[in-house]
Amino acid sequence: MEWIERMTATVDYIENHLTYDMMYDEVAKIACCSMHQFGRVFSYVVGISLSEYVRRRRLTLSALDLQSSTAKVIDVALKYGYNSPDAFTRAFFGMHGVTPKVARTLGVKLKAYPRITFHISIKGDVEMEYRIEEKQDINIVGMVKHIKRQSANTMENDWKEALGEVWSTWKEFLEGGTDEKIGAVHNLYRAPMWQMGFTKTLENGETLLAIGAEADTNVLTDLQTYTIPANKWAVFTVTGSFSGKSHPIDAMWTRITTEWFPICGYKRAADYEIEVYPPGDTSSDDYTCEIWIPITK
């Protein structure tokens, strides 16, 4: 029930700030999640990303504004976060199939995307496999990047660039030579941490993304380094193919948030997490990886 209340409060905040340049890390804080965790849970539960939900709601309300007022198109565009009439027209046409000017015409068909609501769903028991680990500092070597802070207006006008920054960083890591250096040159992919993706929400709202492997030394000059502080970790096993429509990691993040934390007696110890990817066929239904979350009582 607590999770339902948090998500409802999150949607209340979004709805009350659709005409503001809301910062998405602030939205995640209302749900008591990291930006990375919240993005995965929201997409899995709602079926679309947070930015896409905001975009659809804004375009729904902008259509109502155009039909019920004499406001100029540029004023409506600015109200809902678009920095130019052209950007607004492209987005508006993409959803409604007509331009903002045509939307004022009587009898024209428009689309409305309603506010989402959350309800309790009773499901059968499905086991979750986890363990508790304690580790000293983890020295990760590979690639370290700061992902810019995301806001509603930034995503409206630059959404393709902003949305793809995390995935483009992974692509650069895998195809740009860093993955090969770690594996073939330095032979660092080994149990238990294998290949890691570490995400941390910084105080300024940016996301720090570190991709690589654990190393005993940080003097590998051809790789970037980051030290993950010593912690107690809840480690969850994730099984499933990465090729399907529903991503198994998104599903597990949702279960951790809605099922495990409310009853486990633990809380998050820090605003970061690790995803561990062992070798194997990620398209196989039997592929297994892990989510590591820092915890405290």
Q: How far apart are CA 68 and CA 1, in angstroms?
A: 38
Please, which pLDDT band fits residue 228 given cuts at 50, 70 and 90?
A: very high
Average confidence (pLDDT) over 63-76? 92
pTM of the model as a whole: 0.85
C-alpha triplet 146, 147, 152: angle, nearest 5°: 150
Closest among 28, 22, 31, 18 to 64, alpha carbons compared: 18
Structural element, H or E, at residue 55:
helix 50-68
Domain 2-104 and domain 130-296, same fold? Reply is: no
Please, which pLDDT band fits residue 163 given cuts at 50, 70 and 90?
A: very low
Higher pLDDT, 96 or 127: 96
Sorted by where each begins, the domain ranges of the chain are 2-104, 130-296
Q: In this structure, how many other beta carbons lie within 10 angstroms of the beta carbon of residue 107?
A: 4
Say what the pLDDT of residue 123 is. Answer: 59
Say what the pLDDT of residue 217 is. Answer: 67
Say what the pLDDT of residue 167 is. Answer: 78
Average confidence (pLDDT) over 179-206? 92
CATH superfamily of 130-296: Regulatory factor, effector binding domain (3.20.80.10)
Say what the pLDDT of residue 121 is. Answer: 63
pLDDT, the chain, mean: 89
Higher pLDDT, 205 or 210: 210
Average confidence (pLDDT) over 124-143? 88
Dig out the tokens for 32 from the structure: 């008591």
Q: Please report, as a single letter, which amino acid is at residue 108.
A: V
Dig out the tokens for 103 from the structure: 């939307």
C-alpha triplet 87, 89, 90: angle, nearest 5°: 65
C-alpha triplet 196, 150, 22: angle, nearest 5°: 140
For the chain, what is the total number of helices (H) and then of strands (E)? 11, 9
Class of domain 2-104: mainly alpha
In this structure, are residues 82 and 20 in contact, taking their beta carbons and an 8 Å threshold?
Answer: no
Span 3-61, pLDDT tens digits: 788 889 999 999 999 999 999 999 999 988 888 888 888 988 888 889 899 999 999 99
Q: Is the pLDDT of residue 218 over 80?
A: no
